[in-house]
Chain A
Amino acid sequence: MKALIRATFLTLSTLLVGAIAAQSGAHTGHDSSHAAVSNAQLDAEDVAEEHPTHAEGHTKFNPGEMIMGHVGDEHGWHLWGHTTLPLPIIIYNTERGFTSFSSGHFDHGHKTYGGYMLHEGKVVATTAADGTDAHHAAIDEALTKATWDVSITKNVLGMLVSITIMLLVFLSVARHYRTNGLGAPKGIARFIEPIILFVRDDVAKANIGPGYARFMPYLLTVFFFILINNLMGLIPIFPFGANVSGSISVTFALAAITFIITLINGNRHYWGHILAMPGVPKPVLFILTPVEILGVFLRPAILMIRLFANITAGHIIVLSFFALIFIFGEIHAGLGWGVSIFSLVFTVFMSMMELLVAFIQAFVFTFLSAMYFGSAIEGAHAEHH
């Protein structure tokens, strides 16, 4: 418990220091680079037409852009100031074939490379020569449609980091159990074991009943995957801080796996209740059956949205408190400093909340998945109408 509290404070302090440094650096850097680009533009009118916010961009702080930049996904990992870690672009195009190169070639989205460029953060195809200014190059719609972007983005890398940590932790815990045998758990195992027991007894056994053992690997993996990604998302310094579990693509994939496992395990009793609820008059079934079928899809959809919304909302709130500092700082430097105290207090509070939410959301996702599995294999042992 003491170690946990210490770790929490460590996390929070790094979060605060890191966030301040990253944000203050990010925006001065961003703005000056934009300024440099716009100075280099020969056709000033064109710039103003194409990017109307650009002219104001280098003087005015844009909180929405800053927050979305931190919450969303990118083809590069912004480290500090002007430094961005370029990430590999991997593209399969049904017309052009397989391509892979560093995102550094795009020069923060200002240049084209290998027949591709970034448009609003997305890889699009173009026929312009390499090194053309991306703001002028035309998007080739047909080729873009044929493009499948499987790049290692910030979120993919963040997820791989979390997965590495997961594998290291749990394989070492497993080794500990193999060598330690039936003795009392030590080290990380002492912290992990109650969680595993909790997932087994209060999530799996409680919701699935007998036959729960089949679902244990998935439930444990999904619980720790979400938990670790949630916690990593709270640490704002590289290689953590990617908003993995707050990305709808990630929650979509997780919910889809839960959905598929539920469908595969659904027994006659389960499908019988969905397609023709027993004991219900025929005319009512015309209303009930579509609702039930809709429910089959809604349940994983709700799983997906709940995790995504909770994690993203927490991040947005924390970032908004930081944005307040810069908004007031633009009015007056002293005001910015003054507001920063309140922002820090609220950020600490929100970070505590997010730490709680990290556990709660991992639990809720696992719990609901277990409930769906339980309903899928129900009836084999307990008939109730």
Chain B
Amino acid sequence: MLIEFSFGLIFWMTVSFLVVLFILGKFAWKPILGVLSERERTIEDALNEAKKARDEFAVLKSQNEDLMRAAREEREVLLKEARDIRDREISEAKAKAKAEGDAMLTRAREEIRNEKNAALTEMKNQVAELSVMVAERILKEKLSDAAAQKALVDKVMSDADLRKS
């Protein structure tokens, strides 16, 4: 009774199972499995994308860092150049100013010397003139005695004020 193959049950079982297999295969398993594999693919794609984005970001970041470093180095170079130029200019200006000052001093000295020479020459000329004038006066007046001669010389000398000429 327990182990008994019943034709009717086998018949209905086979028929209804095949019908269920067909219906579920067409309207349930196919869409469900389709969605499941599609979802898995989507998730995998998303993960891959994320990984790629992360890698790209890392590359970008290192590139940025390189750029920054390069910029910093360039700034250093520029600053150094600027500093050098400034120093050079200052020293040049200093040298120039010194040279000019020296030249001016030289010129001034020369002028002083020239003036001095000129003054000396003039003074010599005046001394000569005065001497000539004194000599003329002396020669014009008849000088009898020594005392009178002396007084005359003093008078002439005091008339001839060196500073005035």
Is A312 part of the contact surface with B, judged by Cβ < 8 Å? yes
Docked pose: A148 CA to B11 CA in angstroms: 10
Is A171 part of the contact surface with B, judged by Cβ < 8 Å? yes
Is B61 part of the contact surface with A, judged by Cβ < 8 Å? no
**In the complex, which residue of chain A has the Cβ closest to the Cβ of B4?**
A248
**A197 adjacent to B1 (CB under 8 Å):** no
Question: Provided the pairs A153-B8, A221-B29 are in contact, do residues A159 and B13 lie with their beta carbons within 8 angstroms?
Answer: yes
**In the complex, which residue of chain B has the Cβ closest to the Cβ of A312?**
B2
- Residues of A in contact (CB 8 Å), total 50
Is B143 part of the contact surface with A, judged by Cβ < 8 Å? no
**B8 adjacent to A252 (CB under 8 Å):** no
Question: Provided the pairs A218-B21, A257-B14 are in contact, do residues A72 and B1 lie with their beta carbons within 8 angstroms?
Answer: yes
Contact with A along B23-42 (1 / 0, CB 8 A): 11101111111011011001
Pick the contact of A173: B4, B9, B28 (CB < 8 A): B28
Question: Provided the pairs A166-B20, A217-B25, A257-B14 are in contact, do residues A250 and B9 lie with their beta carbons within 8 angstroms?
Answer: yes
Instruction: Give the residue among B17, B28, B31, B35 with the most A Cβ atoms within 10 A.
Output: B28
Is A120 part of the contact surface with B, judged by Cβ < 8 Å? yes
With A170-B32, A174-B32 given, name 20 new contacts (CB 8 A): A68-B1, A68-B2, A150-B7, A150-B8, A150-B12, A153-B9, A159-B12, A163-B20, A177-B31, A182-B39, A200-B33, A217-B29, A221-B20, A221-B29, A225-B17, A225-B20, A248-B2, A254-B13, A257-B18, A308-B3
Docked pose: A197 CA to B32 CA in angstroms: 10
**A196 adjacent to B32 (CB under 8 Å):** yes
**A182 adjacent to B42 (CB under 8 Å):** yes
Chain A residues with CB under 8 A of B31: 174, 177-178
Chain B residues with CB under 8 A of A252: 5, 10
**B12 adjacent to A156 (CB under 8 Å):** yes
Chain A proximity of B164: nearest CB distance (Å): 122
Chain B residues with CB under 8 A of A200: 33, 36
Is A181 part of the contact surface with B, judged by Cβ < 8 Å? yes
Residues 131-188 of A contacting B (Cβ, < 8 Å)? 148-153, 155-156, 159-160, 163, 166-167, 170-171, 173-174, 177-178, 181-182
**B8 adjacent to A217 (CB under 8 Å):** no
Is A216 part of the contact surface with B, judged by Cβ < 8 Å? yes
**B24 adjacent to A217 (CB under 8 Å):** yes
Chain B residues with CB under 8 A of A193: 36
Contact with B along A197-236 (1 / 0, CB 8 A): 1001000000000000100111011000100000000000
**A166 adjacent to B24 (CB under 8 Å):** yes
Chain A proximity of B6: nearest CB distance (Å): 5
**B8 adjacent to A149 (CB under 8 Å):** yes
Is A292 part of the contact surface with B, judged by Cβ < 8 Å? no
Docked pose: A308 CA to B9 CA in angstroms: 14
**A156 adjacent to B8 (CB under 8 Å):** yes
Instruction: Sort chain B's interface into a size bin.
Output: 20 to 34
Chain A residues with CB under 8 A of B28: 170-171, 173-174
Chain B residues with CB under 8 A of A213: 33
**A177 adjacent to B24 (CB under 8 Å):** no
**A247 adjacent to B9 (CB under 8 Å):** yes
Chain A residues with CB under 8 A of B27: 171, 174
**In the complex, which residue of chain A has the Cβ closest to the Cβ of B26?**
A217
Chain A proximity of B137: nearest CB distance (Å): 139
Is A249 part of the contact surface with B, judged by Cβ < 8 Å? yes
Instruction: Give the residue among A153, A159, A177, A196 with the most B Cβ atoms within 10 A.
Output: A177
Q: What 10 pairs across the A-B complex have the smallest Cβ distances?
A: A217-B25, A249-B9, A170-B28, A253-B13, A174-B28, A177-B35, A150-B8, A156-B12, A182-B39, A217-B29
Chain A proximity of B46: nearest CB distance (Å): 11
Is B16 part of the contact surface with A, judged by Cβ < 8 Å? yes
Chain B proximity of A367: nearest CB distance (Å): 18
Chain B proximity of A196: nearest CB distance (Å): 6
Pick the contact of A182: B20, B21, B38 (CB < 8 A): B38
Chain A proximity of B53: nearest CB distance (Å): 20
